[in-house]
Amino acid sequence: MNAELFVNHLSQITFKGVFNPYRDLCDEHDHSESPAIRRLNLQRYLDAAVNCGVESVWLGRDCGYRGGRRTGIALTDELNLEALDHQFGISGLAKATVGQPLKERTATEVWKIIREVDAKVFLWNIFPFHPFEAGNPMSNRRHSAREFNECRDILCCLLEWLQPKMIIAIGADAHKALYRLEFQVSSVRHPSYGGHLEFANGIRQLYST
Domain count, the chain: 1
Closest CA to 48 of 152, 107, 120: 120
pLDDT of residue 209: 56
Question: Which residue range forms the structural domain that includes residue 178?
Answer: 3-208
Residue 106 belongs to domain with CATH number: 3.40.470.10
Distance CA 189, CA 170 (A): 6
Q: What is the pTM of this model?
A: 0.97
- Structure confidence by residue, pLDDT tens digits, 103-143: 999 999 999 999 999 988 999 999 999 999 999 999 999 99
Distance CA 177, CA 196 (A): 22
Task: Enumerate residues 6+ apart whose C-beta is below 8 A from 98.
Answer: 29, 30, 31
